[in-house]
C-alpha cells in the first residue's frame, strides 16, 4: 500500500533557530509568566475586595467598589493574555 502524503508541504517558521510552533520559546515563556502574574494579581485584588467587604465600614465604602473594578480589569487582562498565548501557539496548518 502506498504512503499517504499531505497535499502541500508545511511552511517553515519565520524565526531562525525555532522548531515547531508559531513563536520563539523565549516569547512563549515571557507570555506564560505574564499570564501567571496577571492571575496572581487578580486573586490578590479579589481577596482584598472580599476582606474589605467583610469588614464593612468607611473603608469598604471608600475602596470596595474600586477594588472590584480593579479585579474586573485584572481579569480582562489575564483573559487577553491567555487568548494571545493561545493564538500565538496555535498550529495554523501552514
Instruction: Tell me the per-residue pLDDT of 50-59, one tens digit each, with 9 for 90 and over.
Output: 999 998 899 8
Instruction: Tell me the per-residue pLDDT of 32-46, one tens digit each, with 9 for 90 and over.
Output: 999 999 999 999 999
Rounded CA-CA distance 89/33 in Å is 15
Strands (E), 4-75: none
Domain boundaries defined on the chain: 28-89
Say whether pTM exceeds 0.85: no
Instruction: Tell me the per-residue pLDDT of 62-90, one tens digit each, with 9 for 90 and over.
Output: 999 999 999 999 999 999 999 988 888 87
**pLDDT at 1 (0 to 100):** 58
CA angle 17, 19, 22 (to 5 degrees): 105
Q: Higher confidence at residue 22 or residue 33? A: 33
Rounded CA-CA distance 53/68 in Å is 10
Amino acid at each position: 500500500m502506498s504512503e499517504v502524503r499531505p497535499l502541500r508541504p508545511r511552511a517553515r517558521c519565520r524565526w531562525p533557530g525555532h522548531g515547531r510552533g508559531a513563536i520563539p520559546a523565549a516569547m512563549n515563556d515571557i507570555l506564560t509568566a505574564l499570564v501567571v502574574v496577571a492571575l496572581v494579581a487578580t486573586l490578590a485584588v479579589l481577596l482584598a475586595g472580599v476582606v474589605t467587604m467583610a469588614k464593612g465600614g468607611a473603608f469598604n465604602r471608600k475602596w470596595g467598589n474600586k477594588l472590584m473594578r480593579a479585579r474586573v480589569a485584572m481579569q480582562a487582562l489575564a483573559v487577553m493574555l491567555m487568548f494571545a498565548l493561545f493564538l500565538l501557539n496555535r498550529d495554523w496548518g501552514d
